[in-house]
Structure 1
Amino acid sequence: MVIKTGKKMPEKLETILKESVRLADIQYYMKKRVRLEGECLIIKNEKENKEYKITIKNKRVHLISFGKASQKMAEFALNLLGSRIIDGIVVKLKFAEKISEFPQNIKVIEANHPVPDSGSIEAAKSILNLISNASEDDLMLFLISGGGSAMVELPIDPITLEDAEKAFSLLIRSGATIHEINAVRKHISQIKGGKLAKKAYPAEVVSLIASDVPGNYIDVIASGPTAPDTSTYSDAYRILEQYEILDKIPKSVLEVIEKGLRGEIEETPKPLDKVFERAHNFLIAAPSDLAKEVSSYVSKIGYNSYVLTSILQGESGEVAKALSSIAIDTKKGNTSFALPTALILAGETNVKVKGSGKGGRAMELVAYFSREIAGIDGISIFAIDTDGMDGSTTSAGAFADCNTWRKIFKKYGLKAFDELRNNNSYELLDSLGYTIYTGPTGSNLNNLICILID
């Protein structure tokens, strides 16, 4: 994969970035954790040091893959299971290249992200049609990755696609966490929050899941279509109220949530629902896996490497201030981190959009970080979204060093501070060559941050 930047990155930072993108490949983790032995699918849980066996003998195996990593996950499964898969659906990201020629029995549908489109509706209807007449002799192999919430959607009547699009956009821009955003999404959808597992019953459901969610909550990734849901209509209403979008949300969305509150619409299926006796959800790749792999690599090239967290959350600007203070103190010898230091973090910060600028979580974090470390030699950072698209841009993220903010200020003057407040991190960084371009990676293991302190 070709990685492009407008200007030359610091050499060591660039080396680590290239290896990080390679290590974010979803198939790397699937090969480590999923294999076929005879007529059994073996799924390894390294955390539990346990292997699970799924018998596929005499089963009609159907493949359903969606999310930003759908193509690579489907390619792996098809190579592993071959003709055992009798049919299937792959929902690919609309503007991502087609990475594989799938067999004729696999239907490929393009859909949008971060808000749903007509392709998302088509994907949802096609999946429901595939699973609607399933029996105990069918095995539904779901391959789920982040981005699936938008890429597969069928709103509850009378919510229109346009109303769903508006609701998604309002939630994303509100500053709500992904857990909160998806709690609302589950309660306005016909497929999210365990509803696909319920629709597939009594078929056996096996879901292999790649996480893009801090904490790897199965019921939050892609809004948990095959997992029991612990959130409620009350939660959905509270979230809209908390983020002050109750009066902005489309009337049809509010109508559905209020009907749910009154018990006129059935709640999402909960953990004790019988459908989950035949639904098995397995986490096969996570941000923590990537952080550990990157840290191990960085240690081999001469750094004292530390994984600070794989569940990073918080507002991007505030997180940047906290991380820069750690970096500066480490540079001064005031922390227990040994120099030269590499701090590796994974997770997902959020941005409460107050302005009309262009940017994303990773770029906003880098822009604020660069301001805090201005003039302090020996500190550098990159932050990327591992799917290759940060926020509303085609950039994967950005990098910075001690000179970045000085150059921004020289170009923009005091307007630079206005652009930060306007959430215009892309313009600030891209205009000077600090943005990183990978194109859609076919993966999605959340955001990755690397800070070097020499």
Structure 2
Amino acid sequence: MAALNNRNLKADAEAIFRAGLQAVDPEVCVRRHLRLDGNRLVVGETAYALDRIGKIVVVGVGKASTTMARAAEAVLGERIAKGLVITKYGHGVPLAHCQVLEAAHPVPDENGVTATRALLDRVAGTGPDDLVLCLISGGGSALSPAPAAGIRLADKQATTRLLLACGATIHEINTVRKHLSRIKGGQLCRRANGAAVAALILSDVIGDNLDIIASGSTAPDPGTFGDCRAILDRYGLWDRIPGPVKTRLEAGCNGKIPETPKPGDPIFARVHNQIVGNISAALGAAEKVARSRGFTPLVLASTIQGEASEVARVLCAIAREVTLSGHPVAPPACLLAGGETTVTLKGTGLGGRNTELALAAAMELDGARSTLLLSAGTDGTDGPTDAAGAFADGSTLRRAKALGLKPAACLADNDSYHCFASLGDLLITGPTRTNVMDLQIVLIAA
């Protein structure tokens, strides 16, 4: 991509994005909240007397679980009696005291079922004198499938695919997931047999809701079977979900199956949850680097959600206002946003929410001479692709058409990936082994 207005905005945007990533490095985040203080282990704001702990068991789920575990091993070393973490294929790192198992994301697979069974066995082997240290990050929902009685893995896979394709939010998807599981929605704590449970959590959801991150394995669940029915009705999925799922949810709505554990349940009496990193931390670091590179930064929101293409239109409208009037900030400016958009699948192409947002932005920015947008996932994976996201500017449409591409048709077919791949404007990071949702960076040169 050519320099815009004598600035290489593409390089600036990537540097700002990577600063955000560095701020939520899982090892750094864990080490801030896990330390030894004499004969005490301090986890977040809770201290445990080591001479009163029988054994320490470490378990983890999520895209960042192995790097979080590496930090825990650096602190605890041989004090770890047993350890097991589950992460996405290709995201593992060598560990000395914790077994690493890999599984599929975002649709669960049999390896995930086997790995989750092993994790539950580790926790079930604890008792009142022990401590279970849980390392939880985004992606944990798909990576820890433990189908409830009467539910097959195939049923969960089909339900997950339907929810992902309809544009449901992660809050809605995880509400349903919790009620089809034996581990989610606080149910991991039922397996701890009265052991103390301390969870360090890297948030990938808007609002840092403990019950939503990785479907809240260590948190009370305010959701109900009735909420699940309402979500599926809202998206017209009730008559499309597998029969066993419908049967279970109907039984739950009729009070024939126990609900997930709610706030106040005694199983949470010795459970402590601590957020160690989130999108706000990433935005704060991005803001500092943007300023150091000569831009006036403005954080618009850390709670962006909605259809990716609609969010793109709003961000580009603000960018146009900056160019035209100098409001709400004068150029050179950096608009920053974070959150998680959705895509309602209507085509058969390849892409994710970030490349879709970028391609929609390209439509809005066509001809703009001084504006660039980068939308990218902090986990390094945008939907089912190997890209984190993509860059778009005022030349994107022109260059695409010169290659014989039809950007509008690509957008309609949800085929944003191939469009940006042809242009060389994908951001490829590889696995970042962290996950705090997505960052949108809009640069407007002077």
Q: TM-score, normalised by structure 1?
A: 0.93
Separation (CA, whole Å) in 2 of partners of 1:109 and 1:12: 37
The equivalent position to 1:371 in structure 2, one of 350, 363, 367, is 363
- What does 1:292-441 correspond to in 2, within 5 Å? 292-412=284-404, 415-441=406-432
Distance 1:101 1:43 in 2: 21
Aligned residue type for 1:70: S
For 1:14-53, what aligned pairs fall within 5 Å after superposition?
14-44=14-44, 51-53=45-47
Q: Secondary structure at the match of 2:374?
A: strand
Residue 183 of structure 1 is aligned with which of 170, 175, 184?
175
Q: 1:167 to 1:450 in 2, by over 3 A?
A: same
Pairwise CA distance, 1:134: 2.3
- Asked whether the 8 Å contact 1:236–1:257 carries over to 2, the reply is yes
In structure 2, the partner of 1:77 is: 72
Alpha-carbon separation, structure 2, partners of 1:395 and 1:40: 43
Counterpart AA for 2:421: D
The question of whether the paired residues in 2 share the 8 Å contact of 1:382 and 1:397 is answered with yes
Aligned residue in 2 for 1:88: 83
Deviation at 1:412, TM superposition (A): 4.1
How far, CA to CA, are the matches of 2:10 and 2:178 in structure 1? 43
Q: Structure 1 residue 131 and structure 2 residue 154: aligned?
A: no
Matched, 1:268 2:260: yes
Greater shift after overlay, 350-359 or 128-137? 128-137
1:320-342 CA-partner distances (Å, limit 9, x unpaired) = 00000000110112512122111
TM-fit CA distance, 1:409: 3.1
Contact 1:211 1:221 in 2 (8 A): yes
| Match for residue 142 of structure 1 among 103, 128, 134 | 134
- The answer for the alignment partner of 2:60 in structure 1 is 65
Question: 2:423 aligns to what SS in structure 1?
Answer: coil
Give the alignment partner of residue 156 of structure 2, picking from 153, 164, 176. 164
| 2-structure distance, mates of 1:29, 1:301 | 25
| Preserved contact between residue 30 and residue 276 of structure 2 (Cα < 8 Å) | yes
**Residue 209 (structure 1) shift:** 0.3
Runs of 4+ aligned structure 1 residues displaced above 4 Å come to: none
Post-superposition CA distance 1:6-51 (Å, at most 9, x none): xx9733223323433333422222233332212323345xxxxxx4
**Structural mapping, 1:3-14, within 5 Å:** 10-14=10-14
TM-score (normalizing by structure 2): 0.95
Is the partner of 1:57 in helix, strand or coil?
A: helix
* CA displacement at 1:122 relative to structure 2: 1.0
Q: Tell me the distance in 2 between the aligned counterparts of 1:162 and 1:377.
A: 50
**Identical counterparts, % of pairs:** 39
Partner of 2:5: none
Count of aligned positions: 437
Note if contact 1:9-1:399 (Cα within 8 Å) is conserved in structure 2. no
Task: Return 424-433 or 213-222, whichever deviates more.
Answer: 424-433
Q: Which whole-Å CA distance do the structure 2 matches of 1:350 and 1:55 have between them?
A: 45
* Structure 2: gaps of 5 or more residues: 1-7
C-alpha deviation, 1:394, in angstroms:
0.9
Letter in 2 for 1:141: L
Q: How far apart are the structure 1 equivalents of 2:156 and 2:96? A: 30
Residues 366 and 398 of structure 1 are in contact (CA less than 8 Å); yes or no, is this contact kept in structure 2? yes
* Alpha-carbon distance, 1:115 to partner: 0.8
SS at match of 1:449: strand
Instruction: State the Cα RMSD in Å.
Output: 1.6
